[in-house]
Homo-oligomer: A and B are copies of this chain.
Amino acid sequence: MKLASLKSGRDGALIVVSKNLKSAVRVTDIAPTMQALLDDWTHLAPRLETVSDALNAGQQPGAFDLDMGMLAAPLPRAYQYLDGACYVCHIRRNREARGDTLPSDIMQAPLIYQGISHGFGAWNDPITGQKVEDMIDFEAEIAAITGDVPQGVTPDEATQYIRLFCLLQDTSLRRIVAPELKRTFGFLTSKPASFLGPIVVTPDELGDLWDGKMVSGKMHVHLRGQQIGNIHTGIDSPFHYGDAIAHVAQTRPFEPGTIIGLGTVSNEAADDDWSIGAGCIGEYRAMETIQTGEAKLAFMQPGDVVRIELFDFEGNSVMGAIEQNVLGA
């Protein structure tokens, strides 16, 4: 099943989207918002599956042609956002380039921070209000959205509470990251609001791309019209979604609608193969610094466009694209 939210008020209006992303139908009579659905998933999701089946069969009354421009973030504000640095080569390269080391226990437990959950932008919203001198960067990620998660779940149990997946662009202000992390209280002003892809998909909708631990596929990342990333998302993270959820849930249950990312997708093999590239500018610049002594790829400027899209191994787009430009502060 594929779902999305029409722009409407602060929380959007829930729609079911066809598999080919061509048509959709409002289902606000079943659940007014994505949050309302997630709050009562067990009862409501089967009713939406019935609508989805009819929509895909071309037999759903009220269906309309989907205009992606009508879409808000699937969950415009959420009660919890957790983001990891689980693709370890991403953080290794970033820190190596600035002379920092990895936390000594990075392989013992996933490195995750509590992020800003209250203002996810739409897939095509501009990145706005940020200063160029703060070094505006994007991060290409795949996020899981959970239902209720009980405290103390094991990694193997944890993935059964994942309801949905979507693309995530975690905007980062690189100039502020290092001094803010030195204060040890984590990211704050260096991580402004993030953006979600237009469409959320249930795990079963991913077929073989979802192995119960990781989401596979090729993440294509374009900046200023040039491809800078072609990353295999299903490998190179020592921690999977269940590990990440279980780590945080050691001391808390989750409310439904927790958005959890494994961090910027990244491949170890990119050290030796430039065609793989990176999922953000900072890591790309780190690779340039490590290999050539000089970072060349510029951070984002007004007018720059970033596009992030996940493809399956047959070249089909899996869950729509994020495509944003930058507006001046």
Tell me which of B117, B130, B183 contacts A80 (CB under 8 A). B117
Contact with B along A133-152 (1 / 0, CB 8 A): 01000000000000000011
Write out the residue numbers on chain B whose beta carbons fall within 8 Å of the beta carbon of A186.
Answer: 113-114, 184-187
Contact with B along A144-175 (1 / 0, CB 8 A): 00000001100000000000000000000100
Segment touching B, from A64-72, A232-240, A247-255, A289-297: A247-255
Q: Is the interface of A mostly helix, strand, loop or mixed?
A: loop
Tell me which of B82, B118, B189, B247 contacts A251 (CB under 8 A). B189
* A318 at the B interface (CB under 8 A): no
Judging by beta carbons under 8 Å apart, are A188 and B117 in contact?
no
Judging by beta carbons under 8 Å apart, are A189 and B247 in contact?
yes
A120 to chain B, nearest CB (A): 10
A32 to chain B, nearest CB (A): 13
User: Please, which residue of chain B has its CB at the minimum distance from the CB of A103?
Assistant: B183
A44 to chain B, nearest CB (A): 14
Contact with B along A26-50 (1 / 0, CB 8 A): 0000000000000100000000000
Given contacts A119-B253, A151-B129, A252-B193, contact A112 B10 (CB under 8 A): no
Judging by beta carbons under 8 Å apart, are B251 and A112 in contact?
no
Judging by beta carbons under 8 Å apart, are B187 and A116 in contact?
no
User: Please, which residue of chain B has its CB at the minimum distance from the CB of A181?
Assistant: B184
Judging by beta carbons under 8 Å apart, are B192 and A251 in contact?
yes
When chains A and B are docked, how far (Å) is the Cα of A248 from the Cα of B10? 21
Judging by beta carbons under 8 Å apart, are A187 and B189 in contact?
no
User: Please, which residue of chain B has its CB at the minimum distance from the CB of A193?
Assistant: B252
User: Please, which residue of chain B has its CB at the minimum distance from the CB of A173?
Assistant: B251
**A interface size (C-beta, 8 A):** 48
Write out the residue numbers on chain B whose beta carbons fall within 8 Å of the beta carbon of A192.
Answer: 251-252
When chains A and B are docked, how far (Å) is the Cα of A114 from the Cα of B80? 10
Judging by beta carbons under 8 Å apart, are B118 and A115 in contact?
no
Write out the residue numbers on chain B whose beta carbons fall within 8 Å of the beta carbon of A248.
Answer: 188-189
Given contacts A78-B79, A79-B78, A192-B252, contact A258 B185 (CB under 8 A): no
Given contacts A186-B186, A192-B251, A255-B77, contact A114 B116 (CB under 8 A): yes
A-B contact pairs, 25 of them (CB 8 A): A10-B39, A78-B79, A80-B117, A82-B188, A85-B185, A103-B182, A105-B183, A111-B185, A113-B114, A113-B186, A114-B116, A114-B188, A118-B258, A119-B255, A129-B251, A130-B251, A173-B251, A176-B251, A182-B184, A184-B184, A184-B186, A188-B248, A189-B247, A189-B250, A190-B251
Q: Which residues of A contact B (CB under 8 A)?
A: 10, 39, 77-80, 82, 85, 103, 105, 111-119, 129-130, 134, 151-152, 173, 176, 179, 181-190, 192-193, 247-248, 250-255, 258
For the complex of A and B, list the 4 residue pairs with the smallest distance between their C-beta atoms, beginning with the closest: A186-B186, A79-B118, A118-B255, A113-B185
